[in-house]
Amino acid sequence: MVKLHFVLSDLVADEAAAAFAEHARQIRERLPNVEIGHTGGTSVLGVLTSGDVDLQVRTERHSFPSARDVLRELYEPLDPEAWHPDSAYFLAVDASPPVEVSLTVIGTLDDLHHGAAWQRIAANPGLIEEYNALKRAHEGGSADEYNAAKRDFFHRNFRL
């Protein structure tokens, strides 16, 4: 079992920004009409992060199936059993730093959790501290327990 380890986002900000720019460019070449954002822990200074770079690709509902197919050509599917009719997840295999892509339909709960929630966290020192406390509590622990606590944090703090 891999032990979880977190670092302050400030320490990986430059590397994360470069990875975001490169992957956003690759996606934009194939999907010029989507919105692409840098989300997750590396997108907010002062947040503890595992160092992976999260991209959110937002699209209208009618464009979702074709966008999902294009992203499947660019990336490996991530947790396909967790996919919904309005969200899908992908992984850039062998990327350094690790890169994950969330495709969401604009206006859905997954869209909120993978996008606007991070803007709210960035603007609220109390949410940053609560999120960092969650990370500190799971340092060296299991990914399953951490992921459950993280889902809880987002569902408790961010609703449509």
Q: Taking the chain, what is the end-to-end CA distance rounded to the nearest angstrom?
A: 35
3-class SS of residue 82: helix
Above 70 in pLDDT, residue 160? no
Q: What is the pLDDT of residue 100?
A: 98
Please give the DSSP secondary-structure letter assigned to residue 4. P
Taken in order of first residue, the domains within the chain and their CATH numbers are: 7-153 (3.30.460.10)
Predicted confidence (pLDDT) per residue in 16-41, tens digit = 999 999 999 999 999 999 999 999 99
3-class SS of residue 87: strand
Buried b (16+ CB within 10 A) or exposed e, 126-152: ebbeebbebbeebeeeeeeebeeeeee
Q: How confident is the model at residue 2 (pLDDT cuts 50, 70, 90)?
A: confident
Above 80 in pLDDT, residue 139? yes
Q: What is the pLDDT of residue 153?
A: 96
Amino acid at 130: E
Above 70 in pLDDT, residue 60? yes
Is 120 or 2 the better-scoring residue by pLDDT? 120
Q: What is the pLDDT of residue 4?
A: 95
**Kind of pairing between the strands at 53-59 and 99-105:** parallel
Above 70 in pLDDT, residue 85? yes
Averaged confidence pLDDT in the chain: 96
Predicted confidence (pLDDT) per residue in 91-117, tens digit = 999 999 999 999 999 999 999 999 999
Contacts with 65 (C-beta within 8 Å, 6 or more apart), sequence order: none
